[in-house]
A and B are shown apart, each in its own frame.
Chain A
Amino acid sequence: MSTSQVILPWLICITAACLVVGLVWGFFFTQDDFRQGSTVKIIYLHVPSALMAINAWLMMLVASLIWLIRRHHVSALAAKAAAPIGLVMTLIALFTGAIWGKPIWNTYWAPDPRLMSFMFLLFCYVGYIALWEAVDDVDAAADMTSILCLVGSVFALLSRYAFIFWDRGLHQEASLSLDKETNIANEFYYPLLICMAGFVLLFITLVLVRTRTEIRSRRIRALMARERMA
């Protein structure tokens, strides 16, 4: 708590700076794509949110494992705190994708492996959050959701390959990869990187804030319980 207290204001500032610089640069100071026109600029929201939608789940997976193995309470609360953020990121990715898809593919939605994977991810988040809400006992809820997160991750991977098997798809390949040849042009690349850094920082900031809230509410519960017993 005390560490995050110190870090948090700085983190908020850096996050805001990254987002503002990245988005303004991306939206106003890059050329329009020769085929896609100004539509391409939605990439500065779409790619970073999609990135965080997946990474939020990975973070929850790691936090769940830490809770199951080490029984570290803050870990369970951090996983709980991350879920709604991941859900919102998934929604942003889906919506910006649909808006982007309309002018380019002439459809908002297509049964495409990547699109379906994100829909699947959305269901995973919804189920995970619903399970947290449904179980009264805090430790039991943490256990149940952690088990769900583990099993869900396995099935998410399975589904991903099942989707690819099912249909080759419309969606273009990843915008960024380590293989430089296939990368998008530098002009789009740098603002996109800054945007992605901004979203990562935004996610960390939000998780910290929400985890602090969870810890405080646990503390309140504990104090009230002590009050009742006394």
Chain B
Amino acid sequence: MIALLLRDVRLAIRAGGGFGLSLMFFLILVNLVPFGVGPNNELLSRIAPGILWLGALLACLLSLDRILALDYEDGSLDLLATAPIPLEGVVTMKALAHWITTGLPLTLAAPTLGVLLNLPGSAYGWLAISLLIGTPALSIIGTFGASLTVGLKRGGLLLSLLVLPLYVPTLIYGGEVVRRGAEGASTQTALMMLGGITAGCMALIPFAAAAAIRVGLR
């Protein structure tokens, strides 16, 4: 299974793999926000936690349809489904590879981008921690969405439609951690809920996703 993880990461990093694209998207999106809301530093610093989380979420969404669609098109998914590793493991590894190539870079880049939005000093740590804990959930929920739309011709848009509502709890708790962190309030509950969602998703979603892939390959 480690081989699968390494292959997916390697594929993403090699030319044409799209690695870094979502990071650039995140960067540009965050830079566009001041144009949309006006050059008001105080306002920007108030909405920065939400914008950063929302930006990370959208950047993550952008690359979801690559998780399974490419493997479906070239027949690898058929071969993986008949391979001796369980499909649940395949799903988990694919989500993990997606996280390493999108969620992790986003987490590392977000504090830097916080400067551009005038994020309050006390919030940087919370931003990094909440993204670190929350983005794995985004990847794995996204993998579930990708497995529901596997084999559909125009699955990309439908995928976003299905996945975005499922992102709501993660977004709420993630945004709340940073918001409360910025205000100096207690972040413990939100952080624990965020961790709980990620842990629950990692434990349960692979089964649902694997079931959906089995149906999709039929």
Q: Within the assembled complex, what's the spacing in Å between the Cα atoms of A131 and B173?
A: 28
Interface of A is mostly: helix
Knowing A147-B148, A163-B172 are in contact, say whether A158-B155 is a contact too (CB < 8 A). no
Q: Is B189 interfacial (CB-CB < 8 Å)?
A: yes
Contact bitstring B131-175, A, C-beta under 8 A = 1, else 0? 000000000000010001100101100100110111011001100
Q: Within the assembled complex, what's the spacing in Å between the Cα atoms of A55 and B78?
A: 39
A166 interface neighbour in B154, B162, B172, Cβ under 8 Å: B172
Give the contact-size bracket for chain A: 20 to 34
Whether A155 contacts B215 by the Cβ 8 Å rule is no
Whether B193 contacts A151 by the Cβ 8 Å rule is no
Q: Is B47 interfacial (CB-CB < 8 Å)?
A: no
Number of B residues near A (Cβ < 8 Å) is 28
Knowing A150-B208, A162-B193 are in contact, say whether A120-B216 is a contact too (CB < 8 A). no
Interface of B is mostly: helix
Whether B161 contacts A126 by the Cβ 8 Å rule is yes
Q: Is B212 interfacial (CB-CB < 8 Å)?
A: yes
Whether B208 contacts A151 by the Cβ 8 Å rule is yes
Whether B168 contacts A127 by the Cβ 8 Å rule is no
Central interface residue in B152, B162, B197, B216, by most chain A CB within 10 Å:
B162
Residues of B within 8 A of A220 (CB): none
Q: Within the assembled complex, what's the spacing in Å between the Cα atoms of A130 and B212?
A: 16
Cβ of B197 to closest chain A Cβ, rounded Å? 7
Q: What's the count of A-B pairs with C-beta under 8 Å?
A: 73
Knowing A130-B161, A165-B190 are in contact, say whether A155-B166 is a contact too (CB < 8 A). yes
Residues of B within 8 A of A140 (CB): 215-216, 218
Minimal Cβ-Cβ distance residue in B for A163: B172
Residues of A within 8 A of B208 (CB): 147, 150-151
Whether B152 contacts A147 by the Cβ 8 Å rule is no
Knowing A134-B158, A165-B172 are in contact, say whether A151-B205 is a contact too (CB < 8 A). yes
Q: Within the assembled complex, what's the spacing in Å between the Cα atoms of A147 and B91?
A: 16
A147 interface neighbour in B161, B190, B211, Cβ under 8 Å: B211
Q: Is B65 interfacial (CB-CB < 8 Å)?
A: no
Residues of A within 8 A of B144 (CB): 151
Q: Within the assembled complex, what's the spacing in Å between the Cα atoms of A148 and B149?
A: 11
Residues of B within 8 A of A144 (CB): 148, 212, 215-216
Whether B166 contacts A151 by the Cβ 8 Å rule is yes
Cβ of A122 to closest chain B Cβ, rounded Å? 9
Q: Is A48 interfacial (CB-CB < 8 Å)?
A: no
Residues of A within 8 A of B169 (CB): 155, 158-159, 162
Residues of B within 8 A of A159 (CB): 165, 168-169, 172
Q: Within the assembled complex, what's the spacing in Å between the Cα atoms of A155 and B161?
A: 15
Cβ of B165 to closest chain A Cβ, rounded Å? 4
Whether A147 contacts B172 by the Cβ 8 Å rule is no
Residues of B within 8 A of A148 (CB): 148, 162
Whether B176 contacts A165 by the Cβ 8 Å rule is yes
Listed in ascending order, the chain B residues whose CB lies under 8 Å from chain A are 144, 148-149, 152, 154-155, 158, 161-162, 164-166, 168-169, 172-173, 176, 189-190, 193, 197, 205, 208, 211-212, 215-216, 218
10 contacts between A and B (CB under 8 A): A120-B168, A123-B164, A127-B165, A131-B149, A134-B154, A143-B211, A144-B212, A144-B216, A151-B205, A166-B176
* Contacts A127-B165, A158-B169 known; 9 new A-B pairs at CB < 8 A: A127-B161, A131-B158, A134-B154, A134-B158, A148-B148, A148-B162, A150-B208, A151-B205, A165-B193
